[in-house]
Amino acid sequence: MIQFEDVTKDYDNQTALRNINFFIDKGEMVFFTGPSGSGKTTLLRLIYMAEKPDRGRISIAGWEADSVKESSIPFLRRHIGIVFQDFRLLTHRTIFDNVAIALRIRGMREREIKPKVYDALKTVYLRHKSDSYPLKLSGGEQQRVVIARAIVADPTVILADEPTGNLDPDTAYGIMKAFKTINAKGTTVVIATHNRELFRDTVRRVLHLDTGNLVSEDLG
C-alpha cells in the first residue's frame, strides 16, 4: 500500500528525512512518533505527494513518486483523507461546506452529499455546529471538523497529523475509537502524534522518528 525505500528529503539548509525504509500494508494502523521537528509531517506530505523525495523510491497504492504525472496527483489524493496539523479550514465557508468540499471536488451530487456530511459531523460530535463558521469554533472543535472532512469520502487511506493536539483526553478517546472502527472496515490509518496515550492500549505498529531518522519500531 505505502512503501518507502531509502527515502531522503532535504530542505534548503537541513535534511528533514534520511534513508527512510518502511512498508505499510493495506488495512494496517500505524503510528509515527518523535519529537518536534523530527520529520513526521514531512513524511506524511511525501505520502500525499505534496513534496517529492530527493532520493529514494516512494510507492503509494501503485503510484510511483518519481514517475507520477502532475495531472494525476489529484486522483491519487482522492483515495486519501488527510487531517492536517494546521487544519486548513476554509474560513469563509460554513462547517457543512468545509466538510462537503471533499465530496464536491469529487463531483458528487448535492443530494448524496448532505447525508454523508451529517454522518461525518455526527462522528466527531459536531452535528449541531454545521451552520457555524470555523472562526466561531473552539480549537478542539475546529480540529474535529478537519477529522470529519478527512473521513467523509470513505478514503482508502487516512493520514492524521497530530489529530488530537487540541482535544481533551475524553474527546481524543472518542476520535480514536472512530479511527479504529474505520480501520476495522479495511481502511489503512496512519497517525503522526506525540500523544502516547493514543496508542498505549491499542493493537498497532509504532515507528519512532528522531531528527529525520527512523530509530525504532515497536509492535504491540
- The 3 state secondary structure assigned to the chain is CEEEEEEEEEECCEEEEEEEEEEECCCCEEEEECCCCCCHHHHHHHHCCCCCCCEEEEEECCEECCCCCHHHHHHHHCCEEEECCCCCCCCCCCHHHHHHHHHHCCCCCHHHHHHHHHHHHHHCCCHHHCCCCHHHCCHHHHHHHHHHHHHCCCCCEEEEECCCCCCCHHHHHHHHHHHHHHHHCCCEEEEECCCCHHHHCCCCEEEEEECCEEEEEEEC
Stretch 88-117: interaction string toward its own copies, x if CB under 8 A: ------------------------------
Which of the listed partners (ligand ATP, other proteins, Mg ion, none) does 42 bind, with a CB threshold of 5 to 8 Å by partner kind?
Answer: ligand ATP
- Does position 168 bind its own copies by CB under 8 A? yes
101 binds, among ligand ATP, Mg ion, other proteins, none (CB under 5 to 8 A by kind): other proteins
Residue type present at position 204: R
To the nearest whole angstrom, how small is the minimum distance from the Cβ of residue 188 to its own copies? 23
Q: Which of 17, 30, 31, 41 binds its own copies (CB under 8 A)?
A: 41
Q: Does 162 bind its own copies (CB under 8 A)?
A: yes
Phi, psi of 20 (to 5 degrees): -85, 130
Closest approach of ligand ATP to the CB of residue 170, in Å = 12
Give how many residues touch ligand ATP by CB under 6 A: 19
Stretch touching its own copies by CB under 8 A, among 58-66, 94-102, 135-143, 183-191: 135-143
Which of 57, 79, 127, 194 lies at the binding interface for its own copies (CB under 8 A)? Answer: 194
**82, interface contact from its own copies, ligand ATP, other proteins, none, CB < 5-8 Å by kind:** other proteins
141 binds ligand ATP (CB under 6 A): yes
Binding residues (CB under 5 A) for Mg ion: these are 41, 85, 138-139
Applying CB under 8 A, what is the total number of residues that bind its own copies?
A: 29
Q: How far apart are CA 193 and CA 190, in angstroms?
A: 10
The C-alpha cell that represents 143 in the structure block: 480540529
104 binding partner (options Mg ion, ligand ATP, other proteins, none; Cβ < 5 to 8 Å by kind): other proteins
